[in-house]
Structure 1
Amino acid sequence: MVSPLLAKAAREGREIVNVTPARAGWHYVGFRALRLKAGEVETLLTGADELCIVVLTGTVQVAVDGQRFEHLGQRNSVFDDLPPAAVFVPREQTVCITAERDAEVALCTAPADDQPRQARLIDSAGMRRSVRGAGSNTRYVCDILPHDDPGAAHLLVVEVITPAGHSSSYPPHKHDQETPPTETQLEETYYHRLNPPQGFAFQRVYTDDRSLDEACAVEDHDVVMVPRGYHPVVAPHGYDLYYLNVMAGPNRFWVFKNDPAHEWMLANPPLPFKK
């Protein structure tokens, strides 16, 4: 039985996956991923939402009510050592995305606010890239639209590469209580890609009282929805894992709480096994 938190991808066709707030049973995060062949066009209205367009692979142009952003995207794979191209679009805008070559595009949405905002190119060169963790907990992070970027109302977007045999979002952490500065409430989606693509990874979503405890085997292009609880990820030997995170909640601030049962390893990393 497929977990209710797992949105399986369409292996062929234009729309890869579509997670709406109604489907997820929450209030803030929406996520779609599209395959666009060269010359194909996707037109949409942002309505009451703000939108972050992330060019995962390929090259596109984006037109937003008179503004045009051309030649966006250099990557042939999400595993290329390059940041993505991205565009932020505020509410009540008409958006036209045209593929200049075959492309994969993520559409990340959350409710907008009443502040006047402009469509803007998010500078790839200015995206903060960092290494997180150590040993088999090492992963590589690119902040696309982080919480310290003041140009959005609710939306946060980040991508992570976890090498084969490594863990990620680990030690397990959660952000489901609005108790700043110790923790904030944020819904979250994980859009997973595998290299090679026939691979798989594992993600667990669980709460302290285990009223929610789901383990998902994820394949290429699948989405895991995290409404609450801890949500660690493991990439098996032989398969590198990429994921794109979209987060949003009542306030645009990311503060998480580690699972106390596993937090010890931050101060005392496990030693290598000795025969």
Structure 2
Amino acid sequence: MPVAVITGAAQGIGYAIALQLAKDGFDISVHGTRNNPRRFDPLQKEIEGLGKGFSITLGDISIESDVVALIDRTVKELGSVNVMIANAGYFKSAPILETSAEDVDTHHAINLRGAFLCFKLAAKQMISQNSGGVILCAGSVLGATALSAHGAYTCSKHAIEGLTKSAALEFGRYGIRVNNFSPGVIQTPMLKLASEQQGRMHGITSEGAMALYATKTLLGRIGTPEDVAGLVSWLCSEKASYVTGKSFGVDGGFLLT
């Protein structure tokens, strides 16, 4: 049975991806922070209800030994690593003049360093298995553009574009495909947080900020985690077997507005 590892899967996009890949036939290994180990209970119930294997590893995605533990536990409990989805992310909205060096470091530790470690250690395991694999990362529309008061986050997501291309160049010889999916405004706890922060900065309600986000899309609506999971499902399938080194937007046309 193929095995997919998903970081940041307790809610939002990661949850939807884990559930979709289980429906696609994957056993599922997830990673999350230690602050609330029971957060995965609803997902575990759904995955096991589909008759799929489920493994949980808790830790800090920015610490190499914790990512090693994720790979090791996945292999021990489920047998292999065939897909890695580096989905865990961090967001805090603030103008650059009000952004601390610590905020920059936190964005890069989770959004970039964490993804780098997932890429590196998953690839090592896949190479040892000699069966290829798929590595995907959560990018963002802000990896291709910028918004005011999103500087630290935007920098970290621009870096994901370079990481994806670099890893694709190095891992292709082993049959490992590397791509990223780049969500726009998606109905997640992170978007709720962004709306609250933007609302405070601009003197409007979080609902007003959310409505403003929707107007920034060609389709005039906020996307769903399932919209992203559908793309990820395809990228993990044989239908995308000749696709690597690319960034795929799931943004309702956000970048064209």
TM (normalized to structure 2)? Answer: 0.31
The structure that is helix-richer by fraction is 2
* Structure number with higher strand proportion: 1
